Each structure stands twice: as C-alpha cells, then as structure tokens.
Amino acid sequence: MKAKVLVLNGPNLNMLGTRQTDIYGRTTLAEIEAAAQRHGKTLGLAVECRQSNDEGQLVSWIQKARGAVGGIVINPAGYGTTSVAILDALLTCDCPIVELHLSNIFRRDAFRHPTYVSRAARGVICGFGARGYLLALDAIADLIAEASPAPETSKKPAKKPARKSKGA
Ligand code: DHK
C-alpha cells in the first residue's frame, strides 16, 4: 500500500502566482499541488494537499493526520512564527515532518524566524521556491523507507544433518 503524505499550506498561500511574485514566484498553488502529486507517484507516495487561512482548520487536519499518514510537509506561512497551537498539534504526530518555506526566510526580516514549527520538524527546506515541495517529498520518501523494515533477503539456515545414533 502507498504511504500517504499530507502537504499542508497555511495562510495567503492560496494567492501564490499573484502575491509578491518577486519573493514567492509565479507558480500557483494549484500548479504546486499538481506537481507534488505527480512527484509523489514517482516516489510511491499518495500525496494529499490542503490549504487554509484558518489556524484551527490546520490544527484539525494535523490531528486527523495523526497515525493516518506516513509524513507531513507543512508550509505554515505566517503561522510559523505565531502558532503554538500548530506546534502542539504537530508534536502529537510520530511521522516525519518537513517544514517548508518558498523563500529563504533567513535572508528576510528577523521576525520570520525562528518558527515554532521547526521544533516539531525533522528538517527545514527554504529558499528553493516551488521546487522545495518536491525536495520535501524526496526527504519524506527516504525517511519512510529508512523507517520500514528491510524485506527478508537471507535464506533460512540449512538444516543440520540428523545425527546418526550409535550402532545404527
Ligand atoms: C510564506 C509566508 O506567507 C510568510 O509568512 C513566511 C513563507 C514565508 C514562504 O516563504 O513560503 O514568512
């Protein structure tokens, strides 16, 4: 069965393609999601994408994902630096979490980092634009593969020949 990966996008990311294109690029969220789903297929992952401008909605989706997905990619957008609630929800999940930002937040205003989400994330990808989502899926696919037990390859040990009883 394909492992499921949830790709979550926070506030204002529904406006990608027209919003501050010098920073976030011209790729729309629909294009990013389609590319993520295509890339997921090549990695053997079932990618489910969701976006919300509401903190509570994002928290509810993370709660539902708990135990049901093999990994989470999250671009928390503005909630990264404000939402303890999203951090707490992520901390309840055992699966690998990758935090993602289209822009390199470390080259931008200091208030954009650090983020709360980083405390729950296995790693952070930022500054690679829309390509970052594909990199995040690569990372999640590797982490899932590493965590799953390798298939049995060794042959059963050969049976010891039965000992001849004395006098036989
Ligand atoms: C997107 C946002 O909306 C900002 O609030 C973050 C992030 C950066 C991004 O680069 O994807 O600070």
Q: Is residue 24 among the annotated active site residues?
A: yes
Cβ(74) – ligand 1 distance below 6 Å: no
Q: Is residue 101 among the annotated active site residues?
A: yes
Question: Is 164 a member of any domain?
Answer: no
The residue to mutate among 18, 103, 116, 125, having the most atoms of ligand 1 within 8 angstroms of its beta carbon, is 103
3-state secondary structure labels for all residues of 39-57: HHHHHCEEEEEEECCCHHH
Which of the residues 39, 79, 101, 116 is marked catalytic? 101
- Torsion-angle region of residue 37: left (phi > 0), alpha (psi -120 to 50) or beta? alpha
Consecutive H or E run containing 143 = helix 131-147
Question: Is 22 a member of any domain?
Answer: yes
Report the atom number in ligand 1 closest to the C-alpha of 103: 10
Report the atom number in ligand 1 closest to the C-alpha of 109: 12
What is the Å distance from ligand 1's center to 164 Cα? Answer: 76
What is the Å distance from ligand 1's center to 122 Cα? Answer: 19
**Beta strand segments in 52-134, E:** 71-75, 97-101, 123-126
The residue whose two tokens read 């390509």 is: 131
Report the atom number in ligand 1 closest to the C-alpha of 104: 10
pLDDT tens digits in sequence order for the chain, 168 residues long: 789 999 999 999 999 999 999 999 999 999 999 999 999 999 999 999 999 999 999 999 999 999 999 999 999 999 999 999 999 999 999 999 999 999 999 999 999 999 999 999 999 999 999 999 999 999 999 999 999 877 665 555 656 666 655 544
Question: Is 154 a member of any domain?
Answer: no
Question: Is 159 a member of any domain?
Answer: no
What is the pLDDT, as a whole number, of residue 148?
A: 86
What is the Å distance from ligand 1's center to 81 Cα? Answer: 10
Question: Is 66 a member of any domain?
Answer: yes
65 exposure class (CB count in 10 Å sphere: 0-12, 13-18, 19+): buried
Give the separation between CA 70 and CA 64, rounded to whole angstroms. Answer: 13
Total count of domains within the chain: 1
- Our CA angle for 59, 5, 20, nearest 5°, is 65
What is the pLDDT, as a whole number, of residue 155?
A: 55
Question: Is 168 a member of any domain?
Answer: no
Residue nearest to ligand 1 atom 8, measured at CA: 77
Question: Is 33 a member of any domain?
Answer: yes
Give the separation between CA 95 and CA 131, rounded to whole angstroms. Answer: 22
Give the separation between CA 66 and CA 131, rounded to whole angstroms. Answer: 26
What is the Å distance from ligand 1's center to 134 Cα? Answer: 17
Question: Is 160 a member of any domain?
Answer: no
Q: In b/e form, how buried is each residue of 15-45, taking b as 16+ CB within 10 angstroms?
A: ebbeeeeeebbebebeebbebbbebbeebeb
What is the pLDDT, as a whole number, of residue 2?
A: 87
Domain around 104: 3-147
Residue 131 sits in a domain whose CATH number is 3.40.50.9100
Q: Which of 101, 112, 118 has the alpha carbon at shortest distance from 9?
A: 101
Strands 97-101 and 123-126 come out as: parallel
113 exposure class (CB count in 10 Å sphere: 0-12, 13-18, 19+): middle
